[in-house]
Structure 1
């Protein structure tokens, strides 16, 4: 035991083992032996390693802060470096084991170790705080620099809700993180990472350096917590502080997103989306980074996971403006096709035969954004859009009717942006809208009345737009319906179209309904 070693090697003047009674040399030797035992017992996770942590905790408890950060030069640096190495070793000791298929007990006991290590870190950071408050030399700053990265990684690993954590271990880890921020004089985690003033460069580079060895292709799955620590830490760094670290965060994000497991893909895409939102376009365009991002995201569009499709489409919609900055249309020839065209073409291809409601809702949810982005250029996709719109309006989508609502929104935008090309499709679209109105009006399902009312209103608005772009033809085609139809809801919709068209003068080009 290290404490026995220290007791046996006390100087004659140290008559009893009492707080403050350890010399600096004895403390350094004790830390050295503890570090040796921690690093050479990686395969033994039982009582032996637990005893080391207990001895270490007792050693720090009886050591006064002036002894812990006493001296200067090489001995002091060596002791503070040892503290940092001990913190790294303890972080590995409390880390969750590698996940293996078929094992359900891979994380058993991790939270117990985390509680033990967390309590030790609270004691150690308490010593640093005392040294800071009593201005016990400058060595405490060096010690804090060595401790900050490993302690932060430990705190984030166990403060998030994960399979290897428990309520108690999460509470302890959050206390450790709070005390770390307090000792570092930082008001927030973001400030701790990027620095809250010009003299403070932050610890993001330090932490990314510690994570780097665990974020390569061979090792990133050895510790299941590493990806979550990386992702969570990355999310804290926003514009303009993320830009200088682009080369550190982009490769791991691409690596995680390229995994075969959907949860890892989703985590990686979240990291890529954060990068797109918080790094200037010029830097993403440099070295073809934006194209690399685009192709990595585009490949995920073939997945059947609706949560993944949702994340990919959101990221792509924010990436399109960056990609299209490099495109210049000179006006002499046709506009070049864009990445947005390519993606819309693919998702329309997937939408036509899709029968799974979660995927139909996800695709329909983002279709209006593509029409807005392309504007008049949506005419390139008119035939396929028409088939998708008609097909999606025919299918009941559950109580909320999200797919139908978003499809009607898409149709309204399509009419507004491409109205000169809509009149030739008037009859087909009119039949689809009238069928929808009749189906919703007579719907015996449990669809809430508010949803039915919203659907009928959206369909009516589409009829009004069709009437305007066809110079009143819809009004003429609908004129006899109120005389023969007995359904009050259907008649009410038709009358709204007629009333909206009364007194309107059509000139074929100018209309308040169109952009």
Structure 2
């Protein structure tokens, strides 16, 4: 552990072995403060644990920047390493407590400590900026290299809105991040991580190295901020810079997604989704990584959490093209079933029996993408899709009618891709569409007018497509309804269908 080595630093600095140069007095002062920061009293949150911060602040303010990075009688590298250890200890000191041990009344104390530590980091960065501007202390680059990682982790930990932060700690952390980017001459966090220029090495590998000890199976829950820092950092690095770090980012993402808490599952799936989007398919197919991701998130589809289902389906839809690159279809045989078929089959099974509105909307929201993805191969699922479409169109979905609107979009895509198989379903689909139009037209006040208009327009479009698929049979059947229908909205929809049929080419579809 880095802190273990940091705790041993004072004893090493305080020793004077034969043949070794004695350490500087300044280095000894920093080492003593480091020992106090990482000692038992500080780790237990003793009331006196804030004293090292005051002493450190006074020491940094009283030390000129040239002496801070050059040291007195100590090699610049040794002094800069001590500063890096102090920065790492400060970041750990301000970190939120372990989730099982953390109590709600302890969060204000964490935010207060974070604000104090943030002020110290601002002082250190101002010293770096002063040394950089003076031009007489080239060792500031070495010092910044040791300081940048812990300071970045601290700023991300406390700049986002979390239970352990307060408005003041967030403001201080954001100012620390702003000054860090200024000192490193980076225009954005992405530039800081990947490098502003092609020939410049970014700090993403450095940050991953600092996070690694806290991102294994035994320790990743000791600090509840680590998962957020990892996820936030990961999503700021895109292609083509991400694939070179694949071996270091994939295991933590899988670990977080495999947790029992829904919040962590969603966070892990979002990390995996970012990897799928920003790593070339060839790299994902090596060593069956894409299959590993698929199996890791497929089982989440059995959970009843709609937010998790939404994240998983979005990830899977972008993963399918990668998985299908490994499939080879020979024209003289039937096309093999794909992972998309497997997922759609499971979704339709759940949709048929689902009664919770949030889950119904989540499934309906993503169903058009699956039909679009499979295209003509959707005929494999036609019977089940028909049952789901009919069932969902018959049920009121609340004022926004999101589920029914998405189901109508699905029906339109289904008819466009599988039109030769639609005519035999003419009567069933015509009945359900007409019933929907009548229900919406007669709805007095439950649904807002814009939503009603959207439903009627989508249903009318479906009737027009159904008429094309059945070679004009819908037009003939609807002409009889006009003679007895008195509802103006229903009549308007029917006339739109007839007009579209007359304007369509004589060969139908």
SS at match of 2:43: coil
TM value normalised by structure 1: 0.92
- 2:440 equivalent in structure 1: 440
1:208–1:505: structure 2 CA closer, same or farther, 3 Å change rule?
closer
- Rounded Cα–Cα distance in structure 1 between residues aligned with 2:480 and 2:198: 76
Tell me how far 1:503 sits from its aligned partner.
5.8
SS at match of 2:200: coil
8 Å contact from structure 1 (residues 368, 406) kept in 2? yes
SS at match of 1:498: helix
* CA deviations over 1:20-65 (Å, ceiling 9, x no partner): xxx9811011111111222222433123321111111111110001
Name which of structure 1's ranges 341-350 and 464-473 shifts more when overlaid on structure 2: 464-473
- Rounded Cα–Cα distance in structure 2 between residues aligned with 1:182 and 1:309: 40
Tell me how far 1:179 sits from its aligned partner.
1.1
SS at match of 1:466: helix
- 2:123 equivalent in structure 1: 123
- 1:36 equivalent in structure 2: 35
SS at match of 1:465: helix
SS at match of 2:158: helix
- Rounded Cα–Cα distance in structure 1 between residues aligned with 2:73 and 2:315: 51
- 1:331 equivalent in structure 2: 331
- Rounded Cα–Cα distance in structure 2 between residues aligned with 1:39 and 1:135: 34
Tell me how far 1:504 sits from its aligned partner.
4.5
Tell me how far 1:137 sits from its aligned partner.
3.1
- Rounded Cα–Cα distance in structure 1 between residues aligned with 2:486 and 2:460: 18
- 1:319 equivalent in structure 2: 319
Q: Mapping of 1:11-410 within 5 angstroms? A: 25-41=24-40, 42-70=42-70, 75-100=75-100, 103-410=103-410
Name which of structure 1's ranges 403-412 and 491-500 shifts more when overlaid on structure 2: 491-500
Tell me how far 1:502 sits from its aligned partner.
2.1
- Rounded Cα–Cα distance in structure 2 between residues aligned with 1:24 and 1:179: 31
- Rounded Cα–Cα distance in structure 2 between residues aligned with 1:103 and 1:401: 42
Tell me how far 1:497 sits from its aligned partner.
1.5
1:198–1:380: structure 2 CA closer, same or farther, 3 Å change rule?
closer
- Rounded Cα–Cα distance in structure 2 between residues aligned with 1:151 and 1:170: 14
SS at match of 1:232: helix
**Which sections of structure 2, spanning at least 5 residues, go unmatched?**
1-21
- 2:17 equivalent in structure 1: none
Name which of structure 1's ranges 444-453 and 71-80 shifts more when overlaid on structure 2: 71-80
- Rounded Cα–Cα distance in structure 2 between residues aligned with 1:35 and 1:183: 24
Name which of structure 1's ranges 207-216 and 445-454 shifts more when overlaid on structure 2: 445-454
Name which of structure 1's ranges 119-128 and 377-386 shifts more when overlaid on structure 2: 119-128
- Rounded Cα–Cα distance in structure 2 between residues aligned with 1:361 and 1:222: 36
4+ long deviations beyond 3 Å? 71-74, 503-507
Name which of structure 1's ranges 441-450 and 221-230 shifts more when overlaid on structure 2: 441-450
- Rounded Cα–Cα distance in structure 1 between residues aligned with 2:148 and 2:385: 55
1:109–1:504: structure 2 CA closer, same or farther, 3 Å change rule?
closer
- Rounded Cα–Cα distance in structure 2 between residues aligned with 1:183 and 1:440: 61
8 Å contact from structure 2 (residues 195, 202) kept in 1? yes
* CA deviations over 1:385-419 (Å, ceiling 9, x no partner): 00000000000011111111111111111111001
SS at match of 1:372: helix
8 Å contact from structure 2 (residues 258, 296) kept in 1? yes
8 Å contact from structure 2 (residues 475, 501) kept in 1? yes
Tell me how far 1:199 sits from its aligned partner.
4.3
- Rounded Cα–Cα distance in structure 2 between residues aligned with 1:459 and 1:198: 53
Tell me how far 1:200 sits from its aligned partner.
2.4
- Rounded Cα–Cα distance in structure 2 between residues aligned with 1:248 and 1:315: 20
1:245–1:103: structure 2 CA closer, same or farther, 3 Å change rule?
same
- 1:480 equivalent in structure 2: 480
8 Å contact from structure 1 (residues 98, 106) kept in 2? no
1:474–1:392: structure 2 CA closer, same or farther, 3 Å change rule?
same
SS at match of 2:486: coil
Name which of structure 1's ranges 73-82 and 473-482 shifts more when overlaid on structure 2: 73-82
TM value normalised by structure 2: 0.93
- Rounded Cα–Cα distance in structure 1 between residues aligned with 2:73 and 2:425: 83
Name which of structure 1's ranges 39-48 and 388-397 shifts more when overlaid on structure 2: 39-48
- Rounded Cα–Cα distance in structure 2 between residues aligned with 1:416 and 1:65: 71
Q: Mapping of 1:495-514 within 5 angstroms? A: 495-502=495-502, 504=504, 506-507=506-507, 511=509
Name which of structure 1's ranges 135-144 and 388-397 shifts more when overlaid on structure 2: 135-144
8 Å contact from structure 1 (residues 467, 474) kept in 2? yes
**Which sections of structure 1, spanning at least 5 residues, go unmatched?**
1-22
* CA deviations over 1:38-97 (Å, ceiling 9, x no partner): 222243312332111111111111000111122699632221111111111111111110
- 1:11 equivalent in structure 2: none
8 Å contact from structure 1 (residues 24, 67) kept in 2? no
1:173–1:102: structure 2 CA closer, same or farther, 3 Å change rule?
closer
SS at match of 2:483: helix
- 1:20 equivalent in structure 2: none
